[in-house]
Structure 1
Amino acid sequence: MDPCSFVRIDVGKLALRFPAGSNASQSASLRYDCKITINGFPSQIADVPLIPPGTSSSRFKNEVQQGSASIGLRKSDLQKLAQKLGKRKKNLCLKIDVHSSGCSDGGGRGGIGCLGMRSRRFLGRVSIPLDLNERGEILSGGLQEGWFVIGKKKKTGCNAELHVRVKVNIESRFVFEFDGGSKGSPQVAQVQDNLRQPAFSCLFSDSHLKSSSSAQRPSAPRSWLRFLKRDREAASRGRKRWSITIHDLSGSAVAAASMVTPFVPMHGSDRVHPSNPGAWLILRPDAGIWIPWGRLDAWREPGSGGDSLGYRFSLLPDFSTAAADMASTGINLSNGAVSTKTGGRFGIDIGNRCGGFVMSSTVGGERKEGTWPTVEVGVQHVTQTKDAAVFLALAAAIDLSMEACKRFP
């Protein structure tokens, strides 16, 4: 397998401050976030901590670690963009729009787009030019850091500043594209620049994976069986027993995603609530049985900008060595939300810990028919073809969750 070259743009050390003596006393009751975009590529949202005036340098250093985002752009796409921008005599530009939002304790994922949102206000924008040559290489912007004024006070009523660090790196990723929606049992192709070659096939089912062979039937250690028994309590109305299996070109099952908690609406509501999310187990084969590799929880939550698909993904421990009490929790690697209207991107990026970028997948919105997942996987996490399969199963589970979290009639 040959990977694709990507330009990784890390936007980190985010922080917001208001000048001393300004009307910022009420800001403590608000949440702040920023929308990060680059010339029409999919945007990302990151939380921004509020830094009180007079904050010490040591406290500031700790606070600014909370907000970050990473944008990975295929080098071939940047080359095409460079040609377009050159004809229009425009520059590649990183735009950061800062917003405040009122939020009550209504539950949800505890971050942007949480339940109980009352209002959302645009505070201002930071624009950082990035010098892009015809080969799709970013010449400047290797490292930029500092405080930026985020808007003209007369227009926005805000005189705040945003702290941001922008860092650019080159890295390699494997790219896979689904040739259809997950419920259509699609084929999966690996993409390398303009070359596409078959890599996997998928099989969707609306019941738990069945087989007369115990070697092909999903199973789990006894500590998990007790946990799953509680999870499988289903309401009379719900979406349940879905699964998808990933097969390699030889026809062998190499990964699977199985719905272990039904997607059911909260009593008196038409939504899957974050207090009772639906859940998937991401499974991998090991010594003739299926072993849980990860757990994905998903739900639907309202917001001022429309509904979103909330999610939380946890990596599960190795059951051969892990303590039983870790079985129900795992290690949280990703949580966030994707617009149910326009879609977005699901990703796992652990910064400098354990290999940095892990994977990302596009997620189509309910109104974007005919958009199928494109999955990127960091080369450091793939030593052989089948290693990518669990990430494809996870991407399929996210894709299916958008369907499972549709409003109930």
Structure 2
Amino acid sequence: MNPQTFIRLSIGSLELRVPGITLNGAKSGRSALSFPCVCEIRLRGFPMQTAIIPLVSSPETTPDANNIASSFYLQESDLKALLAPGCPEWGNGRPVILFNGWIHIGKNKWLNGIAGAELHLRVKLDPDPRYIFQFKDKTKLSPQIIQLQGTIKQPIFSCKFSQDRVSPRDPLSNFWSSSFDGSELDIGKRERKGWNVKIHDLSGSAVAAAFITTPFVPSTGCDWAARSNPGAWLIVRSNVCRPESWHPWGKLEAWRERGIRDSICCRFHLLTEGHELGDLLMSEILISAEKGGEFYIDTDKQVRAASTPMHSPRGSGDFAAVSLAAGGFVMSCRVQGEGKCSKPLVQLAMRHVTCVEDVGIFMALAAAVDLSIEACRPFRRRLRRSASHSW
């Protein structure tokens, strides 16, 4: 698999120092600054990002080089302006530090009544190649998954969707809740359950899967799966040491947020130690129910916006958890809104791929995100058996 070129432009090591000002407020008769200070970071063609800047009192303070305040991701077509004589390293795809140090801000003007303010920042370019994949049709039609490389479209996986309870002989049945009785699969009931997707490599071997573990049902007082009672998927990967067995990898919860324009919230946790649901929050994203949108895992920007604080991996030996929590872009999945042919488009950072099975697990997650758009539709009323094929 050949990746496509992407560049990460990061701005970090932000600190502010003002002569005569300490962390405790005004000094030497000067006015106090309003804290916390917030910096607006703009790059043409990208949404504005904001970051909080800490005040430092000692000029000898060494800013943290690993503290990333903002990141922008550039495609190869965006790099022409950067491929100037001052940046020849990009011919070899090597990291480049564009700036690292203190600068005076305000052009000698007063800042909240105080002159001489300085801002520290570190601007760096890093290669961040990605693989790009697309489902050739909507997930429920069990499409092929292809890799996009310019004009080349290479089949890489197939997926098999089912809304029936798995066979007791299927290894997935070990994870299936005992409350799921095949005789209860009556579409007339106000619940959506039994959905599962398996991802197969080109040899036909299943490498990953996603299946509903908590049914999507109307929450109390409404006619849709709400935040108080979300539906949930378990994402599993094949166990390379034990053929025909599965290892829990992540949990995706989804529910409907009502408003002027409804949204579907997708919240993903990484399971770092066996079957411990809700172990490591990686993403919580709102997707327009009507227009669709993008689910992503990007620890640079998502963790700061999440409603629940991100926790550190419990064991340093858990490579998957440490890798995904290390920072930066991990994956994205663009899906369409309700009633549309989605054909999810998936981008995956190359640094998170060591084998084709690694890609498969993210394809299973993308399939679960896409199916959640439909699973979170309002129930409205009981469906007739004759319309059972609709769900």
Give me the TM-score of the superposition, normalised by structure 1: 0.61
Query: Does the aligned pair in 2 maintain the 1:271–1:301 contact within 8 Å?
Result: no
Q: What is residue 386 of structure 1 aligned with on the other side?
A: 357
Matched to 1:297, the amino acid is E
Structure 1 position 342 matched with structure 2 position 291: yes
Q: What is residue 177 of structure 1 aligned with on the other side?
A: 134
Q: Distance in 1 between matches of 2:336 and 2:349?
A: 25
Q: Among 242, 247, 251, which residue is 1:295 paired with?
A: 251
Q: CA deviation at 1:69?
A: 5.1
Structure 1 position 6 matched with structure 2 position 6: yes
Q: What are the within-5 Å matches in structure 2 for residues 2-401 of structure 1?
A: 2-10=2-10, 39=45, 68=69, 70-75=71-76, 77-78=77-78, 142-143=98-99, 167-208=124-165, 210-211=166-167, 213-215=169-171, 217-220=172-175, 236-286=189-239, 287=242, 288-302=244-258, 306-319=261-274, 327-350=276-299, 354=323, 355-357=326-328, 359-366=330-337, 369-401=340-372
Matched to 1:329, the amino acid is G
Q: CA deviation at 1:391?
A: 0.5
Cα 1:219/1:285, change in 2 over 3 Å: farther
Cα 1:259/1:37, change in 2 over 3 Å: farther
Matched to 2:347, the amino acid is E
Q: Distance in 2 between matches of 1:402 and 1:15?
A: 42
Query: Does the aligned pair in 1 maintain the 2:335–2:345 contact within 8 Å?
Result: no
Cα 1:202/1:281, change in 2 over 3 Å: same
Q: CA deviation at 1:219?
A: 2.2
Cα 1:238/1:308, change in 2 over 3 Å: same
Deviations 1:207-256 (A, max 9, x none): 23x246344x3424xxx969999xx9x99523222111101111111111
Higher percent of residues as strand? 1
Q: CA deviation at 1:303?
A: 5.1
Matched to 1:248, the amino acid is D
Query: Does the aligned pair in 1 maintain the 2:133–2:345 contact within 8 Å?
Result: yes
Structure possessing the higher radius of gyration over alpha carbons: 2
Q: CA deviation at 1:316?
A: 0.9
Deviations 1:357-377 (A, max 9, x none): 463223324269344222222
Deviations 1:144-174 (A, max 9, x none): 898989xxxxxxxxxxxx9987543212222
Query: Does the aligned pair in 1 maintain the 2:41–2:50 contact within 8 Å?
Result: no
Q: What is residue 384 of structure 2 aligned with on the other side?
A: none
| Alignment gaps of 5+ in structure 2 | 17-25, 107-118, 301-321, 381-391
Q: How many residues align?
A: 321
Q: CA deviation at 1:333?
A: 1.7
Q: CA deviation at 1:178?
A: 1.2
Deviations 1:311-331 (A, max 9, x none): 221111243xxxxxx713322
After TM superposition, the runs of 4+ consecutive aligned structure 1 residues lying more than 4 A away are: 11-16, 32-38, 45-51, 54-58, 143-149, 162-166, 224-229
Q: Distance in 2 between matches of 1:47 and 1:227?
A: 46
Q: Distance in 2 between matches of 1:357 and 1:50?
A: 20
Q: Distance in 1 between matches of 2:196 and 2:162?
A: 5
Q: Distance in 2 between matches of 1:267 and 1:37?
A: 45
After superposing the two structures, state which structure 1 stretch, 192-201 or 385-394, moved more. Answer: 192-201
Q: CA deviation at 1:395?
A: 0.8
Cα 1:366/1:343, change in 2 over 3 Å: closer
Give me the TM-score of the superposition, normalised by structure 2: 0.64
Query: Does the aligned pair in 2 maintain the 1:187–1:198 contact within 8 Å?
Result: yes
Q: CA deviation at 1:265?
A: 2.6
Aligned-pair identity (%): 37
Deviations 1:378-398 (A, max 9, x none): 223222212210000001111
Matched to 2:334, the amino acid is V
Q: Distance in 1 between matches of 2:212 and 2:140?
A: 13
Q: What is residue 113 of structure 2 aligned with on the other side?
A: none
Matched to 1:289, the amino acid is S
User: What's the secondary structure of 1:4's corresponding residue?
Assistant: coil
